[in-house]
Amino acid sequence: MSNIKWVMVPGIAALAAILTLGLAGTATALHSGGVAHCDACHSMHNSPDNPVAPGATPNNLLLKGSDASSTCLNCHKGSAGSYHILTTTGGSFSPGGDFFWLSANYTNVVRNNPVASDPDQFAHNVIASDYGLTVDANNAAAPGGTYPSSILSCASCHDPHGQVNGGTANGMDPISVSGSYGAIPAAGTIAGNYRLLGDSEYGLADAPIAVTKSYGETDGSTITKAADPNDPNSVDEYAVAHPAYGKGMSEWCASCHSDYINNSQKHPAGNGEFLNGQAANYNSYVATGDFTGSQANAYSALVPFELQTTDKVALLAAVSSTAGPDSSDNVMCLTCHRAHASAFNNITRWNTEDELMAEGFPTAANLVTIGAVANADYYGRDIATTYGEYQRSLCNKCHTKD
């Protein structure tokens, strides 16, 4: 967080310039890979649109929210779909996940005992007081690390100013394109970081390399949409899209969870942790009891992997791929976990705690209770339909122990 304060200084100066010159028209992409409009997030002098009420404590970052995450959610909370990562229905099927699950309170009866859910287990507990998101009640610090839960915010992972390696003040070229969509920057410029993640000037590791084409996540060719809404036969090539992870995601997570990589006592994850023989398992695995798959159609967005490349052109080609991994691809933290939130304890992508996925929590009734859209826990998939009634944990996608 301390880095955030340092980058505020040039940010405020830039804000003053922009306020003087006015905003350059409208735009559809606020961040555009780099710093956004300063006055989208900051109010310079407790100005008329953001006066401090008598007796209230001024926001020392001049933010237009009560805290950093609340400021982000001014735009990023909303209806399902698109760039919203907090909804009231769990319907945002973004790769990172919907912080909706932080409000998923329900109770089930297990062996005659009531068992209540613990929503703090379902997400990174970013603190956003305007939106009712509070500090993690279970962990005082990041599991496997020391980062205090009391300061966890969106800006703990995302650099809202979009700087790469300290930005131009640190001698870097200016950002000309987003780092999320595979765009190749013009000569003398650079791309921003994937999803505005902070990098070596921000945490302990360089920003990971990954590419996506959309805000959503599909398995591959299972979903198409019309490119032209008036022509249902036209196909949008980017509708078949999931993030293509290249390299460094686990190392980056380890900025806070350092004990979870390069540790022989933990599940391997990270660069160099190749799938080896597990790749063949992944490709043959269709469901519990069905090992008839082939690599060409083996990809599951519920169990993604890293391609061990930094070539964005290659990654761009992979965002619509339905192919499973090679033995030289690697397992990463996001193979099993989501970055923001999920319906399951420890933010896993599937229920790892019940024998049969279709019978695990949350149940369909639980989803109704908490106001989630049907099958929101598996991004619209009905597990019994997709995998079968007796499907066991997707750990078996690599380990085939079922």
Site for another protein, residues 264 to 283, rule: CB under 8 A: none
Taking CB under 8 A as the criterion, the residue among 130, 219, 311, 359 binding another protein is 130
Q: Is the peptide bond before 362 cis (omega within 30 degrees of 0)?
A: yes
**Burial class of residue 252, CB neighbours in 10 A (0-12, 13-18, 19+):** buried
Dist. CA 78–CA 26, nearest whole Å: 20
How many residues contact another protein, by CB under 8 A? Answer: 67
Q: Are 323 and 297 in contact (CB under 8 A)?
A: yes
Question: Which residues are CB-contacts of 99 (< 8 A; sequence separation ≥ 6)?
Answer: 85, 86, 123, 126, 133, 340, 341
**Binder among 13, 16, 17, 47 for another protein (CB under 8 A):** 47
Residue 183 binding another protein, by CB under 8 A: yes
Of 126 and 142, the one with the shorter C-beta distance to another protein is 126
| H or E segment to which residue 19 belongs | helix 2-21
Q: Does residue 200 touch another protein according to CB under 8 A?
A: no
Q: What are phi and psi of 16, to 5 degrees?
A: -60, -40
Cα distance between residue 336 and residue 353, in whole Å: 13
Told to check if 178 binds another protein by CB under 8 A, we report yes
Which range, of 47-55, 136-144, 261-269, 345-353, touches another protein by CB under 8 A?
47-55
Alpha helix (H) residue ranges in 135-276: 154-157, 249-253
The single residue among 11, 69, 99, 103 that binds another protein, judged by CB under 8 A, is 103
Binding mask 61-100 vs another protein (x if CB under 8 A, - otherwise)?
---xxx---x---xx--xxxxxx----xx-x---------
Pairing state between β 244-247 and 209-211: antiparallel
Counting contacts by CB under 8 A, is residue 235 touching another protein?
no
The least CB distance from residue 324 to another protein, in Å, is 25
Minimum distance from residue 23 beta carbon to another protein (Å): 5
Pair 391, 288: CB distance under 8 Å: yes
Enumerate binding residues for another protein (CB under 8 A).
Answer: 19, 22-23, 25-30, 37, 39-40, 43, 47-56, 64-66, 70, 74-75, 78-83, 88-89, 91, 103, 129-132, 177-178, 180-183, 213-215, 229-230, 232, 238, 367-376, 380
